[in-house]
Amino acid sequence: MLYTLTTNPAVDMNVNAGTLTTKKVNRTTDAVYTPNGKGLNVSFTLRHYGVDSVILGFFGGFSGDYVVREASRVCPVRPVTIDGITRVNVFVTTPEGEYKFPNAGAPVSRDKQLELLEMLRAADDLECLVVSGSLSPQMDASYYDELIDVCEQKGAEFVLDISHPHLAELVERRPLLIKPNDEEVAEIFGVNVSDEADVLAALEHLHERGARNVLLTLGGDGAYFSNGEHVWRASAATVEVLSTACAGDATLASFLSVWLADRDAVEPALTRAMATGGNVAMCAGLGDFALVDQIARSIEVTRLS
């Protein structure tokens, strides 16, 4: 069974507004509330493509109850209940673009961290753990190592989609897959990806550090996937972007929905990933994936080596 972990989930509130100003009240419209967090989005997207997963995470307060209730409509949830209130993130779309206001989130005590580790150890069906997103306040980066320790003890794979600087050391634990973007590669690994030669060098560097497979996303410039032997390039979807808040999570999940079952099916996995990410970028939240098949016809995937 595939498990996803969101250590710092959220309720996302997406609204529209006119030009923002401090001179008067800024009215908003079209509010959309969604249970959110990178791991939850991965599970929701996997479910759309018929892949089962179990959601793990820390949840607290009225907003945590909302996330657990709504997520349980889609996937099994095994929550760890914490003190405090699960964060509410605000995304405001204006004529000038999208304003993002993510909150820090509720602290997670050490005893609650250990409770989730024990829950993971007790998961006899654990085959792969997808760890996504930021840590909650007061959580040390060594928690990632503890999660990987459990996976290794149980003979399970793990996938990392995190932007923490500790990723530079975690790749030495040989994750099945990492999904950095261009900014994360530069900030965490100190490598530039301004052109394709840079990208190829960066992918080689990440493999040398220990990553077994790399899905490198470049926003409007598409994505690259490398398995250490071959590299593929995928074009980006040409869409009208409303919000990018969930697009990266959907890209990863839709790629996994094909690739985990068939490691040779890279081209269809990348096609689905880019089409799904593009469709989600058109929506507030994940949307309904209604245009994925249409967008997929415009995606070009090329094997470079």
Q: Which residues are catalytic?
A: 249
Q: From 258, 178, 190, 270, select the one nearest 224 (Cα to Cα).
A: 270
Alpha carbon distance 244, 281 (integer Å): 5
Alpha carbon distance 273, 247 (integer Å): 10
Q: From 97, 173, 171, 108, select the one nearest 134 (Cα to Cα).
A: 108
Q: Which residues contact 121 (CB under 8 A, 6 or more apart)?
A: 150, 153, 154
Alpha carbon distance 86, 106 (integer Å): 6
For the chain, the first-to-last Cα distance in angstroms comes to: 33
